[in-house]
Structure 1
Amino acid sequence: MESPKHAGDIAVAVSQAYGVETMFTLSGGHVFPLYDGAVHEGMRILDVRHEQSAVFAAEATARLTRRPGLAVLTAGPGITNGVSGIATAHFNGSPVVVLGGRAPRSRWGSGALQEMDHPPLLEPITKLAFTGGGAESIGQDVEMAFRTAVAPHRGPVFLDFYMDDLFSPSVEHTTETLTPSPLEPDTDALAEIARLLAEAERPVLVLGSDVWMEGAEEAARDFAEEFRLPVIPNGQGRGILPAGHELLVTRARGAAFGQADLVVVVGAPLDFRLGYGWFGGKDGAPLARVVHIGDAPSQIATHTGLSGSAAGDLSVLFWSLSAACGSAGVNPKAYAPWLARLSETAAAAIAADAPLLESDSDPIHPMRIYGELGKVLADDAVVIGDGGDFVSYAGKYVEPRRAGNWLDPGPYGCLGTGLGYSIAARIARPSSQVVLLLGDGAAGFSLMDVDTLVRHKLPVVMICGNNGMWGLEKHPMQLLYGYDVAAELQPQTRYDQVVTALGGAGELVTSPAEIGPALRRAFDSDVPYMVNIVTDPQIAYPRNTTGL
Structure 2
Amino acid sequence: MNAARWLVQALAAEGVDTLFGYPGGAIMPFYDALYGSGLKHVLVRHEQGAAFAANGYARASGRVGVCVATSGPGASNLVTGIADAMLDSVPMVVITGQAPTALMGTDAFQELDVFGMTLPIVKHSFLVRRVDDLPRMLAEAFRIARSGRPGPVLIDLPKDVQVGDAAHLPAHAPLPVDAVAPPTYAWLHAALALLSQASQPVIYGGGGIALGDAVAAFRTFVDATQIPTVLTLRGLGALAATHPLNLGMLGMHGSRAANLAVQEADLLIVVGARFDDRATGKLAEFAPNARVVHLDLDACEIGKLRHAHVGVCGDIRHTLTTLTLPCAAHLHGRHGAARRDWRATCQQRAREHAARYDAPGDTVYAPALLKRLSELAPAAIVSCDVGQHQMWVAQHWRFDDPRKHLTSGALGAMGFGLPAAIGAQLQQPGAQVVCVSGDGSFLMNVQELATLRRYGLPVKIVLLDNQALGMVRQWQELFFDRRYSEVDLSDNPDFGAIAAAFGVQALHVDRADAVEDALRHLLAAPGPALLHVAIDQAANVWPLVPPNRNNAEMLDATSAATPTAEDSRHALPA
TM-score bracket, normalised by the shorter chain, equals over 0.9
For normalisation by structure 1, the TM-score amounts to 0.93
Moved more, 204-213 or 464-473: 204-213
Shift, 1:143, TM fit: 0.9
| Corresponding letter in the other structure for 1:494 | D
Which residue number in structure 1 is paired with residue 422 of structure 2? 423
For residues 387 and 237 of structure 1, the distance between their equivalents in structure 2, rounded to whole angstroms, comes to 17
Which residue number in structure 2 is paired with residue 533 of structure 1? 533
Moved more, 505-514 or 232-241: 232-241
Moved more, 437-446 or 514-523: 514-523
Moved more, 493-502 or 366-375: 366-375
Percent identity over paired residues: 27
Which residue number in structure 1 is paired with residue 521 of structure 2? 521
For residues 9 and 194 of structure 1, the distance between their equivalents in structure 2, rounded to whole angstroms, comes to 56
For residues 162 and 492 of structure 1, the distance between their equivalents in structure 2, rounded to whole angstroms, comes to 42
| Corresponding letter in the other structure for 1:522 | L
Shift, 1:277, TM fit: 8.6
Shift, 1:48, TM fit: 0.5
Q: Spell out, residue by residue over 1:155-209, the C-alpha distance to the aligned partner (whole angstroms, 9 max, x if none).
A: 1111101111112221233314212111211322232222212211111112222
Which residue number in structure 1 is paired with residue 127 of structure 2? 131
* 1:30-109 matched pairs, under 5 angstroms: 30-39=26-35, 41-109=37-105
Shift, 1:276, TM fit: 6.1
- Secondary structure of 1:354's counterpart equals coil
Which residue number in structure 1 is paired with residue 242 of structure 2? 244
Rate the CA distance shift 1:176–1:429 in 2: closer, same or farther, 3 A.
closer
Pair 1:408-2:407 in alignment = yes
Confirm or deny: 8 A CA contact 1:15 1:146 kept in the other structure. no
For residues 36 and 315 of structure 2, the distance between their equivalents in structure 1, rounded to whole angstroms, comes to 37
Which residue number in structure 2 is paired with residue 355 of structure 1? 358
- Secondary structure of 1:368's counterpart equals helix
Rate the CA distance shift 1:502–1:144 in 2: closer, same or farther, 3 A.
same
Which residue number in structure 1 is paired with residue 210 of structure 2? 212
Q: Spell out, residue by residue over 1:212-237, the C-alpha distance to the aligned partner (whole angstroms, 9 max, x if none).
A: 12211111111111111212222443
Confirm or deny: 8 A CA contact 1:119 1:129 kept in the other structure. yes
* 1:262-273 matched pairs, under 5 angstroms: 262-273=267-278
Picking from 175, 178, 181, the partner of 1:177 is 175
Rate the CA distance shift 1:263–1:110 in 2: closer, same or farther, 3 A.
same
Shift, 1:99, TM fit: 0.7
Shift, 1:547, TM fit: 8.2
For residues 281 and 293 of structure 1, the distance between their equivalents in structure 2, rounded to whole angstroms, comes to 18
Moved more, 494-503 or 73-82: 494-503
* 1:225-236 matched pairs, under 5 angstroms: 225-236=223-234
| Corresponding letter in the other structure for 1:407 | L
Which residue number in structure 1 is paired with residue 346 of structure 2? 342
For residues 159 and 492 of structure 2, the distance between their equivalents in structure 1, rounded to whole angstroms, comes to 47
| Corresponding letter in the other structure for 1:342 | C
* 1:10-21 matched pairs, under 5 angstroms: 10-21=6-17
Rate the CA distance shift 1:190–1:296 in 2: closer, same or farther, 3 A.
farther
- Secondary structure of 1:355's counterpart equals coil
For residues 207 and 429 of structure 1, the distance between their equivalents in structure 2, rounded to whole angstroms, comes to 26
Which residue number in structure 1 is paired with residue 495 of structure 2? 495
Q: Spell out, residue by residue over 1:11-31, the C-alpha distance to the aligned partner (whole angstroms, 9 max, x if none).
A: 233333332211110122322
Confirm or deny: 8 A CA contact 2:72 2:112 kept in the other structure. yes
| Corresponding letter in the other structure for 2:209 | V
Confirm or deny: 8 A CA contact 2:101 2:129 kept in the other structure. no
Rate the CA distance shift 1:330–1:162 in 2: closer, same or farther, 3 A.
farther
Rate the CA distance shift 1:179–1:371 in 2: closer, same or farther, 3 A.
closer
For residues 332 and 429 of structure 2, the distance between their equivalents in structure 1, rounded to whole angstroms, comes to 43
For residues 30 and 281 of structure 1, the distance between their equivalents in structure 2, rounded to whole angstroms, comes to 51
Shift, 1:402, TM fit: 3.0
Shift, 1:375, TM fit: 3.4
Provide the aligned C-alpha RMSD in A: 2.2
For residues 393 and 231 of structure 2, the distance between their equivalents in structure 1, rounded to whole angstroms, comes to 14
Rate the CA distance shift 1:429–1:403 in 2: closer, same or farther, 3 A.
same
Rate the CA distance shift 1:493–1:525 in 2: closer, same or farther, 3 A.
same
Shift, 1:9, TM fit: 2.3
Pair 1:390-2:408 in alignment = no
Rate the CA distance shift 1:438–1:529 in 2: closer, same or farther, 3 A.
same
For residues 179 and 517 of structure 1, the distance between their equivalents in structure 2, rounded to whole angstroms, comes to 48
Rate the CA distance shift 1:475–1:278 in 2: closer, same or farther, 3 A.
closer
4+ runs of 1 displaced by more than 4 Å?
276-282, 326-334
Q: Spell out, residue by residue over 1:33-60, the C-alpha distance to the aligned partner (whole angstroms, 9 max, x if none).
A: 3334434541110010111111111112
Pair 1:28-2:42 in alignment = no
For residues 218 and 373 of structure 1, the distance between their equivalents in structure 2, rounded to whole angstroms, comes to 26
Name stretches of at least 5 consecutive residues in structure 2 with no aligned partner. Answer: 249-254, 552-574
- Secondary structure of 1:310's counterpart equals strand
Shift, 1:136, TM fit: 2.2
For residues 531 and 511 of structure 2, the distance between their equivalents in structure 1, rounded to whole angstroms, comes to 12
Pair 1:312-2:314 in alignment = yes
Confirm or deny: 8 A CA contact 1:219 1:318 kept in the other structure. yes
Which residue number in structure 2 is paired with residue 512 of structure 1? 512
For residues 396 and 496 of structure 1, the distance between their equivalents in structure 2, rounded to whole angstroms, comes to 27
Shift, 1:281, TM fit: 7.1
Shift, 1:7, TM fit: 1.1
* 1:185-204 matched pairs, under 5 angstroms: 185-204=183-202
For residues 186 and 109 of structure 1, the distance between their equivalents in structure 2, rounded to whole angstroms, comes to 50
For residues 540 and 329 of structure 2, the distance between their equivalents in structure 1, rounded to whole angstroms, comes to 49
Q: Spell out, residue by residue over 1:55-95, the C-alpha distance to the aligned partner (whole angstroms, 9 max, x if none).
A: 11111222111111111111011111111100000100111
Confirm or deny: 8 A CA contact 1:294 1:310 kept in the other structure. yes
